[in-house]
Amino acid sequence: MVRAVFLDRDGVINRKAPEGCYVTRWTQVKFLPGGAAAVKRIREAGFQVIVVSNQRAVAKKLISETELEFLHLRMWQEFFRGEKGFDAVYCCQHDDDPPCECRKPQPGMLLTAARDRGIDLGASWMVGDSESDVLAGRRAGCRTIRIGSPDIRSSTGADAVAESLTQAVNVILASETMGAGDHSNESPVVGLASISS
């Protein structure tokens, strides 16, 4: 069984740009603390680690597809510093209109990754900082964690809330040790979000 942890990019791996703006240049990249170590822990627990990211800046012609690929190459080189990187990166480069199947909250990127890599989505997780990430994960059949402050707990459909990727990994690993293979009743997972980083 192949399991994965799907990660959004902006707001999970690196700091999100201000509303209405996009990370399109290396000078705009600010990594959030503890991310590379958190990814290593996920992998050591037996999960693939896959980035699924909406990159509408391509459709808006603020960055080309090639420039995005080079930006990611540099980001991952700096992020991992010689350690094993992500298992795969999937990006939706479309705008909101016309609608597509891959732009979150649609689950297309997760479903494609599952087909490409033989992933059991029911045994996998989606970690993101927005409700569109949560919806994409739930529609794909994954358990979900939303990155944010504890006060979003009452307004999110996520199974858990964590303040950072490090804390999200704590939630995932705690769930593993509890033997949470059957998540037909997912509400107890929410309580794990209080685990400190």
- Give catalytic residues, as residue numbers: 8, 10
73, 38 in Cβ contact below 8 A? no
Exposed / middle / buried, residue 185 (Cβ in 10 Å: 0-12, 13-18, 19+) = exposed
**Token output for 9:** 């990019």
> Strands across the sheet with 88-92, in order?
88-92, 47-54, 3-7, 125-128, 143-147, 160-162
Task: Give the total residue count for the chain.
Answer: 197
- The DSSP letter of residue 39 is H
Distance CA(48)–CA(178), nearest Å, equals 20
- Looking at the chain, list the stretches that DSSP marks H as alpha helix, in order from N- to C-terminal side: 35-44, 65-80, 108-117, 131-140, 165-177, 187-190
- The DSSP letter of residue 191 is G
